[in-house]
Amino acid sequence: MKEALFYQKLDKNKVKCQLCNQFCQINEGKRGICGVRENRKGSLKTLVYAKVIAVHVDPIEKKPLYHFLPSTRSLSIATVGCNFRCDHCQNADISQASKEGLFFEKKQIPGEKLEPDQIIALALKAKCPSISYTYTEPTIYFEYALDCMRLAKEKNLKNVWVTNGYTSQPALEMAKPYLDAANVDLKFLTEKNYKKICGAKLQPVLDNLIWYKQNNIHLEVTTLIIPSLNDSDEELTEIAKFIFEKLGADTPWHISAFWPTYKLNDFSPTPQDTIFKAKKIGEKIGLKYVHPGNI
Ligand code: SF4
């Protein structure tokens, strides 16, 4: 079992994980919020190194990235676990598998053993010019993603993160030399909904979005538009304004329609009209690329 990066030892064998903005303080024998980092006798271990729960070849547009290596395919991988607990998660069966359900009850971390060199070999065999760290949250399998990214660079493959934007700053700095592109979710523009729906805070996500832009990592932003939660003219305008003012008019904004799922199964799907309203709002603010999705 691999020792985790980015943690601090505390008294009484406690540790503080500093990999993401949850900054979990973890007692001996316990796991952090993501469910995949465990304190073993005062040493923090990652439980998901090279334990792959999903590996697929996807069009890069499915990430979604529309302005990075267009019309190519990307080898897409994930482990279980996530540092968020979004009520509308479309991949809850794997993102929350370390926190609930059968595997959690049996204290198992499911996944197939695939070492970083095997991932690179798969990407080359499938003629993918990039590897995407996606489906769940790349931050929580950081050590594994980092080793894959380093090897990928040696083979001239690009690295793409599809992320909730909650990585800590030191971890982002370590990933920077290997990270080529990211699609970052900006789910809401209210602290209230980030806390209630995702179990997280808004400000670190905003700070990280700006970090990606300032560090010249290709950036696209996604907002899943959920009826009654973030579909008001005011909130859509505020999100578009943030992208325009802080990230630039040429930053693509993907506005996706929500479909009832997981804990928001009783919500209505997003009407097409709402998506087109959001597109108009984004374009009126001055964004050059507003892309509707899931309709
Ligand atoms: S990665 Fe984030 S959620 Fe997981 S243990 Fe570390 S601070 Fe907590």
Give the global pTM: 0.97
Among 22, 39, 95, 167, name the best residue to mutate to test ligand 1's pocket (greatest count of ligand atoms within 8 A of Cβ): 22
Q: CB within 8 A of 110, min separation 6: which ones? A: 51, 53, 80, 97, 103
Atom of ligand 1 at shortest distance to CA of 18?
Answer: 7
Summarize the confidence of residues 273-295 as an average pLDDT: 97
Evaluated on CA atoms 253, 255, 261, 263, the torsion sign reads positive
> For residue 110, how many other CB atoms are within 10 A of its CB?
16
Q: Cα(222)–Cα(159) distance, rounded to whole angstroms?
A: 18
The band of 86, judged by pLDDT with boundaries at 50, 70 and 90, is: very high
Q: How is residue 245 annotated by DSSP?
A: I
Nearest CA to ligand 1 atom 5: 32
* Residue 128 alpha carbon to ligand 1 centre in Å: 30
Q: Which two tokens stand for residue 234?
A: 């005011």
Atom of ligand 1 at shortest distance to CA of 23?
Answer: 7
Nearest CA to ligand 1 atom 7: 23
Q: Which tens digit of pLDDT belongs to each residue from 2-43?
A: 999 999 999 999 999 999 999 999 999 999 999 999 999 999
Evaluate if residue 103 carries a pLDDT over 90: no
Enclosing H/E stretch for 253: strand 253-257
Specify the pLDDT at position 192.
97
Nearest CA to ligand 1 atom 6: 17
Specify the pLDDT at position 48.
98
Please provide the average confidence, as pLDDT, over all residues in the chain: 97
Q: Which residues line ligand 1 (CB under 6 A)?
A: 17, 19-20, 22-24, 32-34, 37, 83, 140
Among 19, 48, 146, name the best residue to mutate to test ligand 1's pocket (greatest count of ligand atoms within 8 A of Cβ): 19
Specify the pLDDT at position 104.
87
CA angle 99, 101, 105 (to 5 degrees): 80
Q: Which two tokens stand for residue 81?
A: 């676990």
CA angle 142, 145, 151 (to 5 degrees): 140
CA angle 34, 200, 212 (to 5 degrees): 90
Atom of ligand 1 at shortest distance to CA of 7?
Answer: 6
- Count H helices and E strands in the chain, helices first: 9, 16
Q: Which tens digit of pLDDT belongs to each residue from 231-277?
A: 999 999 999 999 999 999 999 999 999 999 999 999 999 999 999 99
